[in-house]
Chain A
């Protein structure tokens, strides 16, 4: 059961935050409100009138709009075409022509009315994520909605874009619209919400006001006290383990994604890479791991060049790697927990030799790791796909930490992971650092980078704009993430 007797009331002109961990049932609840799912029990009242939503069409007719976490836009269509999609203006009867001009005018009108600048003729695929989101909001607003649901809207935004979005939400609320803001980021909730409903395991566990402290909110979300701060002592950086200089890497389209990057990571320190997703972090890490060819530059692991090495060789030379896309790159969902725990060591003693596997050693290893990393699973023989995101991630982290490491690379180590597991994974990363491993953490969550890192490199459009201390004010890091350096505007190379 994803939702268990939830009551929630949203007043006109209110920003109502729905707070809960991944899998708490927030999206399920909102999908019912938007007609994508039907409730088994209970009712939905709009302005005191009972409504049944069989599809989003019904919901839109009742004045409810939704901006999904993953945008529902057609990349090769223009902004105006996307906004018209599903409610096209047609001239000359049902078989007539699309009235593009009227569409365009509607878009401009709505855009102006709510102060949301969009270019109706731009192609979606050419727009940055923040602008795409604006298109989604304009799209909902052209349908004349009274209640706007925003599902995790800030996950893909820079801190500045987030601020802009919060301002838009505020002005929409002032114009009388109601907003449901789904999130798990406490800071944003406190900044914008008029009321907060906390959901845990499909139940409403409490309502709060914005002056509730972050720790109290987190405790409500998780059901126990959690420490949001990553507890760690000062780093004791040793020798240089990873040394990257002048690195140039191209993305799948042949566009330069990593542009002359120089970085070093020392033993016993965590280097965090901050940046909005899609600024070259993925390609940088893939290049180190031998998953992507290098155009120019050097990558050295303690005087050993990693250029031209296969992924297997890189892993075997003492590198642990937690990929950013867990379900695609991290685990084989149909494989058991035990098999996933040896996914990159199956052909090494004691788990196997060239011609046979050793199921006993694999099982022993699985039992140990499950215990050590607190992986909640009924049996190590269960398929990994049946585990929660947090436990799947623990499987990946356990696998990568179960051999002697010189370098540990974690990309988005806690994406889609519950707060309890985040705490655990962060502790493990710091533990690895204290054992003298060089650690590279890439995350688009600035809080995570600031919490874990001893030094922070900010990436923007494939370049490292600056390496700063984690004590740097957040605003300053946020500006760097948006490409604005202290002295001058970043070169405008569109």
Chain B
């Protein structure tokens, strides 16, 4: 503290202010979860930048005469990186040119909102699968089965969407409920096995993932499901009465993101404000104490997996009823497994998971533009996502790189790793 120069009268006050300020800085630079998360994203982008340069043969060729004219290589690298990351931003949040055109009257508002619409479209199912993993983890269960539960949700939601005739409104509601119930059943099985026999949910949910995925591949080839007018493996189209209402084309964002926010609020309430949440949190951190206090650990595990499965199933249904309109073998994409990473990034907190899902959606949406415009492969986005997760799973690494002070209260254990 260099307050010697201050007049003695003011000294005390100044010291106090400075200590408040430095305390603020200290806290900002301490290893709390927010700081670590942001720095992890930053680190991932730095490594991503190196990969962008290394994977571009044109830019790489400038490096062959780096010693004689370093500026060529550096400029080319900088141009490529800034273009790639610029595209990532423009594709995910907004493109200044399109917004300018809209204000000038030369462009449409759809073009201005296109990027954010894409981001939210990709994010919506991830919110559900992320919440599924997060709530299970808070109850001490490691739900690897989000993928299978989402696939079953796609199937039940989708089949109700094209095979059942119901009035507008009701049809959508029933299709969503079917998606929830399908996923819930797929969560109930491992939950029951865990509660009754102690079978580890990691093993059982992984196995159920295979069953669900292969069941979907088989199902779309069956008569009554398969589209008779097509030769490839694809189902009938979901009726418009069962589709999630969306903004006018070419915008793709649909009601799913609103449902995702509602689901987040419900999960947050369930965790923190309800007796069941109290039970599941107690069972999650100390099952023997929960049992001694009269809670039923078996019942909690089963019900928890039903809810977690239902959430993932809803994610699948939202994917089918909102973004895709037919069942294909790949309809669920990777939303279940991405849900694991989203939950980790969101620290297993409901609102954190929502934000993480939006970040993942943004990376995905921006990656599309990056691939088209800057010629950087979409796989780079996957690499970025993976790097972010690695840094978050190893907070000690981030702390060491940035010399962060230990936070006073934040528990920075590798949260997910402890689950095994």
Contact = CB atoms under 8 A, between A and B. Distances in A.
Contacts of B289: 328-332, 343
B278 interface: yes
A291 B275 contact: no
A460 interface: no
A334 B285 contact: yes
B411 to A, nearest CB: 9
Contact of A321 (B273, B290, B292, B296): B292
B274 A356 contact: yes
Interface residue tally of chain B, by bracket?
10 to 19
A352 interface: yes
A331 B286 CA distance: 8
B295 interface: yes
Interface in B263-281: 273-275, 278-279, 281
19 contacts: A312-B295, A312-B296, A314-B294, A323-B292, A329-B289, A330-B292, A331-B286, A332-B282, A332-B286, A335-B285, A339-B278, A343-B290, A346-B275, A346-B278, A352-B275, A356-B275, A357-B273, A357-B275, A357-B278
A332 B273 contact: no
Interface string A278-299: 0000000000010100000000
Interface of A: 289, 291, 310-316, 321, 323, 325, 328-335, 339, 343-344, 346-347, 352-357, 359
A398 to B, nearest CB: 14
A315 B274 contact: no
A437 to B, nearest CB: 19
A435 B291 CA distance: 28
A329 B292 contact: yes
Contact of A344 (B273, B294, B296): B294
B293 interface: yes
B107 interface: no
B275 A335 contact: no
B288 interface: yes
Contacts of B291: 291, 311, 329
For the complex of A and B, list the 8 residue pairs with the smallest distance between their C-beta atoms, beginning with the closest. Answer: A312-B294, A344-B293, A347-B275, A329-B292, A343-B293, A311-B294, A332-B286, A334-B285
B359 to A, nearest CB: 27
Main secondary structure of the interface of A (DSSP, over half): loop
Interface in B130-146: none
Contacts of A291: 291-292
A325 B286 CA distance: 12
Contact of B286 (A311, A328, A346): A328
A340 B326 CA distance: 50
Given A311-B293, A328-B288, 8 more contacts: A311-B291, A331-B286, A331-B289, A335-B282, A335-B285, A343-B282, A346-B279, A357-B274
Contacts of B273: 356-357, 359
A310 B294 contact: yes
Contacts of B290: 332, 343
A382 to B, nearest CB: 10
A356 B279 CA distance: 12
A42 to B, nearest CB: 26
A344 B278 CA distance: 11
Contact of A311 (B274, B279, B285, B292): B292
B286 A289 contact: no
A315 B294 contact: yes
Interface string B116-131: 0000000000000000
A194 B295 CA distance: 52
A261 to B, nearest CB: 21
A58 B332 CA distance: 61
A289 B292 contact: yes
A345 B146 CA distance: 33
Contacts of B278: 339, 346-347, 352, 357
Nearest to A321: B292
A329 B292 CA distance: 6
A353 B274 CA distance: 9
Contact of B275 (A311, A315, A334, A354): A354
A291 B289 CA distance: 11
Contacts of B282: 332, 335, 343
Contacts of A356: 273-275
A315 B289 CA distance: 14
Contacts of B294: 310-316, 344
Contacts of B288: 325, 328-329
Nearest to B281: A335
A310 B290 CA distance: 13
Contacts of A310: 294, 296
Contacts of B279: 346
A335 B281 CA distance: 9
Nearest to B282: A332
A325 B291 CA distance: 13
Contacts of A328: 286, 288-289
A355 B285 contact: no
Nearest to A353: B275
A334 B285 CA distance: 7
Interface string B287-305: 0111111111000000000
Nearest to A400: B293
B274 A355 contact: yes
A451 B179 CA distance: 63
Interface in B245-279: 273-275, 278-279
A407 B251 CA distance: 67
Contacts of B285: 332-335
Contacts of A347: 275, 278
A488 B286 CA distance: 46
A316 B282 CA distance: 19
A175 to B, nearest CB: 46
Contacts of A333: 285-286
A355 B292 contact: no
A316 to B, nearest CB: 8
A334 B290 CA distance: 12
A24 to B, nearest CB: 26
Contacts of A289: 292
B137 to A, nearest CB: 14
Nearest to B295: A312
A329 B295 CA distance: 12
Q: Most chain-A Cβ atoms within 10 A of its Cβ — which of B285, B288, B296?
A: B288
A328 B289 CA distance: 6
A113 B274 CA distance: 66
Nearest to A314: B294
A327 B307 CA distance: 29
Contacts of B286: 328, 331-334
A335 B296 CA distance: 18
Contacts of A331: 286, 289
Nearest to A316: B294
A342 to B, nearest CB: 8
A369 B105 CA distance: 68
Contacts of A312: 294-296
